[in-house]
Amino acid sequence: MQRPAAGPREAGAGAAAPVRVGILGLGTVGCGTVNVLLRNAQEITRRAGRRIEIVQASARDIGKKRACPTSGIALVPDAESVVRNPDIDVIVELIGGLDPARALVLEAIGQGKHVVTANKALIALHGNEIFRAAQERGVMVAFEAAVAGGIPIIKAIREGLTANRIEWLAGIINGTSNFILSEMREKGADFADVLREAQRLGYAEADPTFDVEGVDAAHKLTILAAIAFGIPLKFRDAYVEGISRVTRLDVSYAEELGYRLKLLGIARRTESGVELRVHPTLIPRRRLIANVEGAMNAVLVKGDAVGPTLFYGAGAGSEPTASAVVADLVDVVRTLTTDPTNRVPHLAFQPDALEDLSILAMEEVRTSYYLRMHAEDRPGVLADVTRILADLQISIEAILQKEPAEGESVVPIIILTHRVVERSMNAAIARIESLGPIQGRVTRIRLEHLHADWH
Ligand code: NDP
Ligand code: HSE
């Protein structure tokens, strides 16, 4: 293993010289980071043992008005020049996306600089390569802000729960989707209007389809699963379904049945492999996590020793995310002089101890279901539907048949089932949709009880 390059970075490491930071990107999170570092400079120095000084930052348009002071920071349009600046010890990557972020982070590592990033897409897709490079160069890549904004969930799983065999975790890990679902349910708001508001508040990704189609949550879930189970990052094997097709009708039927609709990321060990899935999920309303609203996030982690633990806090936004970025910076500063082999491993487990467990295909996953269908109001239809479910060994938990709307002969039928493997449910839905009196498609939403003893 190579040690980080000697030079100005190491010269001050033992003394009280400030640690010099370069920030790539001065948008929502970049400016939040500057503001928090300036406002809490004294407290942060007392904790870190050294002053953290932002010497340079990059942004595409350096003439743009910023939400943070930039005096004393050399602002440049060329991110690469920050990475190559020999006076900088730590690079904070807050640009987002893969290109040019991946190349910049690898370049920084190559230069022997430590990296802090909030970029979940980058870590989920290229983390294996980045951590390998960092390991070889003996530098740290810290990414607390990449998952659940301000909640210190990476540290909690990687360090606080290190005694446990993690059995499963389930999280509301996309603030934008949770904000949209909350506003739809509480105010009957329109999907597109709420998404615009989430963008205005700085919660949404540069491409908001990442939020509403579940991709951002899957990036974060991939990272959580890796550190929880000691497996490589496997984003491409995750099942990803977002909230874009959720209707207000399903949100309100779910409420009538005692459930709340959330976009959940679920990672669970089973005997046949790891479940890694993001999809809209009904959860019992009495669960604490069902009551997480707005842009707040929560992650429920079940460890064999500790039992269920719940972590809650702001999942997006300028300063909540900066809180995690600055915590990583302090961690980096505190361990600058530590032997790299004695640092907490990037993915919680020693790199040579990762297990390449397979990720289950969605067809193999077992879960409960909410089904909504529209049927012609005539005798025998419900019997036909329940016969199909019985033939496939799918047991019913509840059935709700609504009155037809005035002047209409089509009735909504809602069925809740017990747990069954998804392959059987796919077969059942295909058969139900082929029944003459069933109109249109069957809506299927997965349902999880999140019992502490879920095996
Ligand atoms: P913003 O879009 O607000 O800021 C991005 C910054 O990067 C801007 O300063 C922009 O310059 C600069 N930039 C964009 N593209 C390039 C490029 N190609 N080359 C160089 N600089 C570029 O993003 P956020 O601050 O919201 O997000 C930053 C990162 O943090 C992302 O990875 C995001 O996923 C993550 N994150 C965001 C959270 C949030 O709540 N917003 C929460 C947790 C993580 P300019 O300002 O001139 O346009
Ligand atoms: N777009 C993300 C979200 C930002 O809404 O959760 C925080 O990672």
Instruction: Kindly state if the Cβ of 27 falls inside 6 Å of ligand 2.
Output: no
Quick one: pLDDT band at residue 407, thresholds 50, 70, 90? Answer: confident
- Give all strands (DSSP E) within 72-165, no chain letters: 74-76, 90-93, 114-117, 141-142
Provide the pLDDT confidence category of residue 1 given band limits of 50, 70 and 90: very low
Question: Which atom from ligand 2 is nearest to the alpha carbon of 203?
Answer: 5
308 and 381 assigned to the same domain: no
Distance of CA 313 from the midpoint of ligand 1 (Å): 21
Does residue 304 have a pLDDT over 60? yes
What's the token pair of residue 197? 């508001």
pTM: 0.95
CA gap 454, 420 in Å, rounded: 14
Q: Which ligand is nearest to the CA of 325?
A: 1
* Band of pLDDT at residue 7, cut at 50, 70 and 90: very low
CA distance 116 to 328: 7
pLDDT band at 204 (very low <50, low <70, confident <90, very high): very high
Please indicate if the annotation marks 307 as binding a ligand. no
The reply to whether 259 and 225 lie within a common domain is yes
Tokens of 301: 């982690």
Q: Is the pLDDT of residue 139 over 50?
A: yes
CA distance 259 to 449: 9
Are 206 and 122 in a shared domain?
Answer: no
CA 131/CA 145 separation, integer angstroms: 17
Identity of the amino acid at 220: K
pLDDT category, 12, cuts 50, 70, 90?
very low
Phi/psi at 283 (5° precision): -130, 150
Query: For residue 53, which phi and psi values (nearest 5 degrees)?
Result: -120, 125
pLDDT value, residue 341: 87
Q: Is the CB of 127 under 6 A from ligand 2?
A: no
Output the pLDDT for position 189. Answer: 87
pLDDT of res. 219: 98
Q: Which residues contact 362 (CB under 8 A, 6 or more apart)?
A: 239, 277, 422
**Domain end among 329, 353, 377:** 353
Tell me whether residue 452 is in a domain: no
Give the per-residue pLDDT at 202. Answer: 87
Question: Is residue 422 located within the same domain as residue 301?
Answer: no
Q: Which atom of ligand 2 is nearest to the CA of 204?
A: 1
Tell me the one-letter amino acid at 175.
G
Most confident of 26-40, 369-383, 401-415: 26-40
Q: Count CB-CB contacts under 10 A for residue 361.
A: 13
Does residue 131 share a domain with residue 242?
no
Q: Where are the beta strands (DSSP E) in 199-245?
A: 239-240
pLDDT in tens, 69-113: 999 999 999 999 999 999 999 999 999 999 999 999 999 999 999
359 in a structural domain: no
Q: Which residues pair with 53 in a beta bridge?
A: 20
Is 455 among the domain residues?
no
Residue 302 pLDDT greater than 80, yes or no: yes
Indicate the pLDDT class of residue 14, thresholds 50, 70 and 90.
very low
Residues 265 and 288 in one domain: yes
In a domain, 453, yes or no: no
Whether residue 3 is predicted with pLDDT greater than 60 in this model: the reply is no
131 in any annotated domain: yes
Mutating to test ligand 2, I would choose from 216, 220, 262 the residue with most ligand atoms within 8 A of its C-beta, which is 216
Whichever domain contains 413, its CATH number is 3.30.70.260
Mention every residue, 6+ apart, whose C-beta is less than 8 A from residue 387.
none
Please give the backbone phi and psi of residue 438, each rounded to the nearest 5 degrees, phi first: -85, 125
What is the whole-number distance in angstroms between the Cα of residue 30 and the centre of ligand 1?
7
Mean pLDDT of 18-39: 98
Q: Are residues 109 and 220 in the same domain?
A: no
Overall number of domains in the chain: 3
Alpha carbon separation from 224 to 127, 218, 300, 358 (Å, rounded): 12, 10, 11, 16
73 and 216 assigned to the same domain? no
Structure tokens at 90: 């730590």
CATH of the domain at 91: 3.40.50.720
Q: Please give the pLDDT value at position 452.
A: 87
Query: Is 402 known to be catalytic?
Result: no
- Amino acid 235: pLDDT: 98
Q: Whose CA is nearest to atom 14 of ligand 1?
A: 95
Report if residue 303 sits inside a domain.
yes
Residue 2 has pLDDT above 60, yes or no: no
What is the number of the ligand 2 atom nearest to the C-alpha of 173?
Answer: 6
Mean pLDDT over 158-176 rounds to: 98
d(CA 218, CA 220): 5
- Ligand 2 contacts CB of residue 203 (under 6 A): yes
Percent of the chain with pLDDT over 90: 89
Per-residue pLDDT tens digits for 263-298:
999 999 999 999 999 999 999 999 999 999 999 999
Q: Are residues 143 and 159 in the same domain?
A: no
Q: Which strand (E) or helix (H) includes residue 46?
A: helix 41-48
Q: For residues 247 and 292, state if they share a domain.
A: yes
Residue 357, annotated as binding a ligand = no
Whether 3 is in a domain gets the answer: no
CATH of residue 190's domain is 3.30.360.10
123 alpha carbon, closest ligand? 1
Q: Tokens standing for 6? A: 């000697």
329 in the same domain as 398: no
Contact 285, 260 (CB under 8 A): yes
Q: Is the CB of 448 under 6 A from ligand 2?
A: no
Q: Which ligand is nearest to the CA of 324?
A: 1
What is residue 16's DSSP assignment? T
195 within some domain:
yes
* pLDDT for 408: 81
Domain identity same for 179 and 234: yes
Band (309; pLDDT cuts 50, 70, 90): very high
Q: What percent of the chain has pLDDT over 70?
A: 97
Residues 403, 420 contacting (CB under 8 angstroms): no
CB 264 within 8 A of CB 276: no
pLDDT of residue 404: 79
Mean pLDDT of 211-224: 98
Provide the residue range defining the domain that includes 205. Answer: 153-315
Q: Is 31 annotated as a binding residue?
A: yes
Pocket of ligand 1 (CB under 6 A): 25-30, 58-61, 64, 79, 94-96, 100, 118-120, 145, 149, 202-203, 205-206, 316-317, 321
pLDDT (0 to 100) of residue 277:
98
